[in-house]
Amino acid sequence: IYYYSTSATDPDGDDVYYQFDWGDNTISSWLGPYPSGQLIQASKSWSAPGGYQLKASAKDVDGKQSGWSLPLSIEMKNRAPAQPGIVSPQNGASSIQTNANLSWTGSDPDGDIVTYDVFFGISNPPAKIVDNQSAFSFHPGTLQYLTTYYWKIIAWDPFGGNTSSPAWSFTTKTSDDSSGQQNNDTTENNPPVANISLSEPFGFVDAALVFNGSMSFDSDGYLTKWSWNFDDGTTGSGEVITHIYQNVGSYTVTLSVTDDKSATGTDSVKVKITTANRPPTKPRINGTTIGTKNKTYLYSVQSTDPENDFLQYIVAWGDRSSNTSDFLPNGTYCSLLHSWSSPGKYTITAKATDNATLSEMTSLDVFIDVFFVNTLGFLFDSNSDGLNDSFYINSTGDISSAQKLTNGSYLLDTNGDGSWNYLYNPTTGSLGTIQTGVTTIENRWFFIVIIVVAFAIIACIVYLYKKNYF
């Protein structure tokens, strides 16, 4: 398991939710909420080696969502299984019973499923007699008296990683028969028993399904082969195997096992393959986008489900309030009423669920009691005092100040630096820039009076100077 951290800051100081795209076609659920700016942590483990691109996204409590972060590239490397360890018979042991089991230990540092190839015989190196076995023990059948046997195990993971044990040996005991004759087993061979009970009976199209024959056994020898027929024109081999079906349907999967004397046994299971549940489509929101505070408006939300399931809608209004509908028939329009108590921009978000999966989120911006200023942004009354004293900046999403002059024009700060940048006349729609350092006087007669007074003061000074009052 690996841990990753991220953080985001909300301009309004709202709590923040986080979501991770893990780069393996899986996306985490929304985590949170967390305080704005807090570093949060999420964990992840990957089931296969390879390269992955991690991304994170954030949204506030009103559902307004950021884009995805720049990707973080990671490489998950496969580690081979641990070297198998001997349990019994111990290496070099003697006087071993002729019905002995071989047993060993094994593991994988990545937690992968491990299978084992068994090599066994009277020559060194021994020949492989079984492959893809999942058990940690093996019964080689009845052995000869006073004979040295060699064996080793190779461990495999699903990605081709493998590790071999050293070659071990042991020697069986002498005959219990006082004549010293070798053990010549002439009893009739019992056929092996196939057991498919651990396999999965249900699956989805294009999804891997596990078939497990590890419960199969042979009472008087050992299994050498596991053969699978998947009833879709394909076959496979191995004690535990995965298979992917391409089409919906019911299939009879058959396992045939073979023992060391070529006898066989079979078992079968019915498997039902369906289509995995698909999420509803991205909803559509219909309704007004420009309105007045304290007035109720009607909105409708609609989505469709590929499996014709009933749908529930979750709608957030951008003002910290939300509604969740009942489950409605597929494709039904969900009608909702809402009003806003303050001017400003609100983002309505909506999602649909079929009670198993969630649709993508859709959004609609609504403007309440605002006055648009070309493409720069809009004026609005932020404190409900009847004056448009704030300006929303489209380019940044920030809110700055505005000042109304006595002639009805507005001074606008369009970049949030505390200085006036534009002079806007809502009557004529004219918009002029203000140079840095220039002071705007809202009454030209006031400006003329200042000039006249200044000249009068200068004239008085000159007169008094000529009369020698200085």
Distances (CA, A) of 348 to 318, 337, 340, 405: 6, 12, 12, 34
Confidence category of residue 443, pLDDT binned at 50, 70, 90:
very low
Q: What angle do CA 67, 68, 70 make, to 5 degrees?
A: 125
Q: How many CB atoms lie within 10 A of CB 123?
A: 9
> What kind of fold does domain 2-76 have according to CATH?
Immunoglobulin-like (2.60.40)
Which residue in 340, 419, 348 sits closest to 380, CA to CA?
340
- Tokens 């419960």 sit at which residue? 215
Mean model confidence pLDDT for the chain: 88
> What kind of fold does domain 85-172 have according to CATH?
Immunoglobulin-like (2.60.40)
Which residue in 161, 121, 115, 120 sits closest to 136, CA to CA?
115
| Domain edges within the chain | 2-76, 85-172, 202-274, 284-368, 371-433, 446-470
Fold agreement (85-172, 284-368): yes
- Tokens 């309030």 sit at which residue? 321
Confidence category of residue 218, pLDDT binned at 50, 70, 90:
confident
pTM of the complete model beyond 0.85: no
284-286 sheet: strands from edge to edge: 284-286, 297-302, 334-338
The domain 202-274: what is its CATH number?
2.60.40.10
Q: 24-28, 294-298, 319-323: which has the minimum mean pLDDT?
A: 24-28
Q: 138-147, 244-253, 291-300: which has the minimum mean pLDDT?
A: 138-147
The domain 284-368: what is its CATH number?
2.60.40.10
Alpha-helical regions (H) of 13-66: none
For the segment 277-291, what is each residue's pLDDT rounded down to a tens digit?
Answer: 889 999 999 999 999
Cβ-proximal residues to 428 (8 Å cutoff; 6+ apart), any chain: none
